[in-house]
Amino acid sequence: MNILSPIRASRRAIYTFADETSADEADDEALHLRKSIAVLAAIVVGPAATIWGLVYLAAGEAMISIIPFIYLPLTIVNVVSYRIWRRYHVFEFCQLLITLLLPFCLMLALGGFVSSSGVVMWALITPMGAIVYSRRKMAFFWFLVFLGVVVFSALIDSSLSGTNDVPQWVRRTMFAGNILGPSAVAFGLLAYFVKQNDLAYELLNFKRNRSESLLENVLPTAIAAMLKDGTQMVADRFDHVSVLFADMVGSTQLASTLTPEEMVALLNEVFSEFDSITIRHGVEKISTSGDNYLVASGVPEPRPDHAQALVNVALDMRDYLASRNGELGGGCRCGLASIQARP
């Protein structure tokens, strides 16, 4: 068994829990992502808060250890309340307030910035988290509140006791932890957000490309381009146009001898060749219906030889079907009409 398997399984379980907790049919993908990151951020800080509480408890600061220990039950109550009542903005505000105030209270209890090993740095998760999963105005608000807490901490630092029972070597170690911990959490949240955002953009591009491909298959390329550019009404005048209608002779009898899958595959093969013929002659495929093929010339690009071009198309269609040695029935019946608009 891979030693990393339990870690990966736990990570997947956390991601799934955050995703299910934040799921709301009324939300788009971007909003759902921000909400899931908010839940994820609340969860991942829990283990660090528990470790910090154990450290202070082992150092003889039992009362002080209550502050980091209380993070987990507060977060559990907040997350469970969110799952039940689905009031995201209340959940977000409460969670950001918890991550801001508890480090500040812990700093006060430990006697100041230096004696607390800079534990107030954990409050940095509040504005960093707000940038990722809150509204822009609220992110700015939480950043100002964070600055206010830092400035206030600096102003009152000299009036605090500056002493506690935590050993000096533990304080130095906690300094590193209080810098690396919030930095790792902030980096992880941002990395997860960027990754999920990139996946969302890839999916969006895939759907856009598929829609554009479908549009270009249904409409002439020039018309499809106009629609994609936002043109509300597409109306052009073409004075000289020819239309060719091709019908496969004997396809009804042929269909009775083939399975539906075989017949569809055969028509797809034939029409693919017809598409190549239309492209080669510079004419425009309009539609296919059953075993019928409709193509036009002179639209959407006018050309003086529109009728001659379709005659050549019909001859190539006939030659292609003849090259199949009667495999496709009785060949192709084509009808061509040329139209000249009235002045």
- Answer yes or no: do 53 and 153 share one domain: yes
Question: Does the pLDDT value for residue 64 go beyond 90?
Answer: yes
Mean model confidence pLDDT for the chain: 86
The pLDDT score that the predictor gives to residue 216 is 66
Count helices and strands (H / E) in the chain. Answer: 12, 4
C-beta separation of 328 from 254 below 8 A: yes
* Domain-located, residue 217: no
- Answer yes or no: do 190 and 244 share one domain: no
Q: Residue 147's domain spans which residues?
A: 5-199
* Domain-located, residue 219: no
* Domain-located, residue 214: no
Question: Does the pLDDT value for residue 226 go beyond 80?
Answer: no
* Domain-located, residue 22: yes
Give the H or E element holding residue 161.
none
Query: Which ranges constitute the DSSP H helices of 157-286?
Result: 168-218, 221-228, 251-255, 260-281
The pLDDT score that the predictor gives to residue 331 is 73
Question: Does the pLDDT value for residue 219 go beyond 80?
Answer: no
Decide: pTM greater than 0.85. no
pLDDT band with cut points at 50, 70 and 90 for residue 2: low
Q: What's the Cα-to-Cα distance from 72 to each of 42, 67, 75, 89, rounded to whole Å? A: 9, 10, 5, 20
Euclidean distance between CA atoms 147 and 149, whole angstroms? 5
Strands, E assignment, the chain:
240-248, 284-289, 292-297, 332-340
Question: Does the pLDDT value for residue 223 go beyond 70?
Answer: no
C-beta separation of 227 from 289 below 8 A: no
Question: Does the pLDDT value for residue 178 go beyond 70?
Answer: yes
Instruction: Identify residue 55 by its one-letter amino acid code.
Output: V
* Domain-located, residue 98: yes
Euclidean distance between CA atoms 80 and 71, whole angstroms? 14
* Domain-located, residue 99: yes
- Answer yes or no: do 195 and 283 share one domain: no
Euclidean distance between CA atoms 235 and 18, whole angstroms? 51
pLDDT digits (tens, 9 = 90+) for 242-255: 999 988 887 777 77
pLDDT digits (tens, 9 = 90+) for 22-45: 999 889 888 898 999 999 999 999
* Domain-located, residue 183: yes
How many domains does one find in the chain? 2
